[in-house]
Amino acid sequence: MFSKISIQDESHQWQKIGVSGRDADKILSEILNKNIIYEANHAKQIERDLQQHIFNDTNDILILSLPGNEPRFELIAPSTSSSLTTLWEILSQQAEIQDLEYWKLLDIRSGIPEIWPETTEQLLPHYINLPQLNAVSFTKGCYCGQEIIARMEYRAKIKRHMIHAILPNTRQVPVPGTLLFEKNEENSDQTKDIGTVVTASPTATGVEMLIEVLDEYATNWRCLV
């Protein structure tokens, strides 16, 4: 049974900053006077999110712990709140300010995919590792396509997954949805479709990407972008 709902953009009602680094949890704990916990296991992180919700007369900040090799957090507050602005001013005195592209790169290195207009309805959850991120529930909820997704989880042998890939010595960043092909060494005119670029970001030495590929190419892939 489905219910009719309406969706509208409420982004203007909220403000958000990101904090990352080896001692990010310790620094936030000291500033906010609260024990901010970083949990490497993403499933446990989600369980802790509500425990890290600060709500009192001066603070209204939701702290979300993100997966990765080092502590990383998103801090969200109402646009009318001054607590996040104050926190930003304090952090800017002791931390290096980066742009959104750097945060996107951290997402890539942490295996967090993004869906862009070019990839809408093109990538199944299992192909971009959403179950591993605990981003799909198989025990509750109801949504279009749920039966297919559940069948993939319990019955199907998934042959495509998302991996982190690096293109060295290039400044050309492939757009999301770019198809990946393997060259036929015997006939250069023939190629094989092996995957898709999910998201990509430039670095000082090249480009880092999340790509979904056939499993046979996950550890040894040669492709054309």
The mean pLDDT values, 10 residues at a time, for the chain of 225 residues are 76 93 90 75 51 51 84 91 90 91 94 93 91 81 77 84 92 93 68 90 94 84 48
Q: How far apart are CA 159 and CA 195, in angstroms?
A: 11
Radius of gyration of the chain (CA): 20
Chain center to CA of 73: 12
Total number of residues shown for the chain: 225
Please name the CATH architecture into which domain 117-217 falls.
Beta Barrel (2.40)
pLDDT attached to residue 50? 46
Domain residue spans in the chain? 12-97, 117-217
Q: How far apart are CA 151 and CA 146, in angstroms?
A: 8
pLDDT attached to residue 181? 86
pLDDT attached to residue 224? 46
Chain center to CA of 34: 26
3-state secondary structure of 70: coil
Q: How far apart are CA 195 and CA 223, in angstroms?
A: 9
